[in-house]
């Protein structure tokens, strides 16, 4: 089958199955599969034009809604955090898209950029398994364990299960919101963060995401938990929703700048991206079901080695 926008010729089952396998594996390590699907499109399918970046964003648009729905249904969406992330990421996406079509249209240069992003993700996964990193995370893990214990107590007292809408005491409620600081309540405690600082972080992530073709949730969530000291339970939904909204906006941005990029393929291949997305949708579900049977440490080490190896291949290939 020929996908006319990208020029890729492959069986329609290939993108579906690749996304299924990749997402099944990566979701078990708590990492999005989008960052690995782009190298597959570039190196295996030969899709090297700037249009590959928004096509990769289509993956997020198709694969994420089920997770967003779950967070909304359970009342776990932290809206103040979500909107600051979105407002910071959107301008970053615009500049990232312009960088992609103006300064990184050449496949060789783009592979170097991809290699640098992958190297960061891969080394971070490996570093997280070292004794030094685990010591630094001890306080965060202890804090998260306390949050989970409080949550279990609230759920038991209400007689509700986590599969249904959560009781009011377990939901995220906005306490105060200004351009300087945002506060919200969760399990009887108040948490706050600097809106300008989070905006700046989201802006940087959006710049990378717009250039590469990823939403950035996998990058921003760990930083928010570590730097701002917020419970991951209140971050995950916001990161997922932010990734979804900004992915939609990112695709729109590429459509808007396409008329100004004569001679370049800039608009996404919706059919190809949708097949990847459907595979990712199914793969994330499978990964969530299989996670309890496989060691999280082995998953993260395996992902770290694979991603770092791929990154070094791209970086070394730029110079030789």
User: pLDDT tens digits, residue range 88-139?
Assistant: 999 999 999 999 999 999 999 999 999 999 999 899 889 888 888 777 777 6
> Is 2 contained in some domain?
no
> Is 153 contained in some domain?
yes
What mean pLDDT comes out for the span 204-222? 84
pLDDT tens sequence across 249-263: 999 999 999 999 888
Taking the C-alpha atoms of residue 57 and residue 48, their distance in angstroms, rounded to an integer, is 15
Q: 285 to each of 7, 154, 191, how far by Cα in Å?
A: 30, 27, 31
Q: Are the CB atoms for 250 and 209 separated by under 8 Å?
A: yes
| Number of domains the chain is built from | 1
- Top pLDDT among 31 and 110 is at 110
Structure letter (DSSP) for residue 291: G
> Is 204 contained in some domain?
yes
> Is 150 contained in some domain?
yes
Domain that holds residue 31: 12-157+171-319
Label residue 191 by pLDDT band (50, 70, 90). confident
Label residue 199 by pLDDT band (50, 70, 90). very high
Label residue 39 by pLDDT band (50, 70, 90). very high
Q: 242 to each of 50, 60, 313, 315, how far by Cα in Å?
A: 23, 11, 31, 30
pLDDT tens sequence across 129-182: 888 877 777 766 676 677 777 777 777 776 665 555 567 767 788 888 888 999
Answering whether pTM is above 0.75, one says: yes
* 3-state DSSP assignment of residue 185: strand
Buried-exposed string 118-156: b where 16+ CB fall within 10 A, e elsewhere: bbebbebbbebeeeeeeeeeeeeeeeeeebeebbeebbe
> Is 5 contained in some domain?
no
- Top pLDDT among 151 and 36 is at 36
Q: Is the pLDDT of residue 31 over 70?
A: no
> Is 162 contained in some domain?
no
């Amino acid at each position: 089958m020929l996908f006319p926008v990208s020029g890729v010729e492959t069986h329609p089952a290939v993108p579906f199955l690749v996304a299924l396998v990749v997402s099944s594996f990566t979701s078990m390590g708590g990492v999005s599969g989008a960052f690995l699907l782009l190298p597959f499109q570039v190196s295996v399918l030969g899709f090297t034009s700037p249009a590959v970046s928004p096509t990769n964003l289509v993956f997020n648009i198709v694969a994420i809604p089920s997770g967003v729905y779950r967070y909304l249904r359970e009342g776990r969406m932290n809206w103040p955090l979500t909107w600051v992330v979105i407002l910071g990421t959107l301008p970053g996406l615009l500049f990232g898209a312009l960088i992609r079509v103006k300064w990184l249209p050449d496949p060789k240069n783009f592979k170097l950029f991809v290699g640098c992003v992958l190297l960061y993700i891969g080394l971070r996964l490996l570093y997280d398994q070292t004794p030094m990193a685990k010591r630094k995370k001890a306080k965060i893990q202890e804090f998260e364990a306390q949050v989970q214990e409080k949550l279990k107590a609230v759920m038991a007292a209400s007689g509700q299960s986590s599969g249904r809408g959560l009781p009011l005491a377990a939901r995220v409620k906005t306490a105060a919101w200004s351009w300087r600081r945002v506060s919200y309540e969760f399990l009887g405690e108040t948490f706050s963060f600097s809106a300008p600082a989070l905006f700046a972080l989201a802006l940087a992530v959006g710049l990378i995401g717009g250039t590469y073709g990823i939403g950035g949730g996998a990058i921003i969530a760990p930083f928010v938990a570590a730097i701002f000291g917020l419970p991951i339970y209140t971050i995950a939904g916001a990161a997922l929703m932010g990734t979804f909204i900004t992915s939609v906006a990112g695709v729109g941005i590429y459509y808007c700048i396409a008329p100004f990029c004569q001679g370049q393929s800039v608009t996404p291949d919706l059919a190809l991206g949708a097949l990847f997305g459907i595979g990712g949708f199914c793969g994330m579900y499978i990964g969530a079901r299989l996670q309890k049977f496989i060691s999280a440490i082995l998953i993260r080490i395996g992902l770290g080695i694979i991603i770092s190896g791929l990154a070094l291949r791209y970086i070394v290939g730029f110079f030789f």
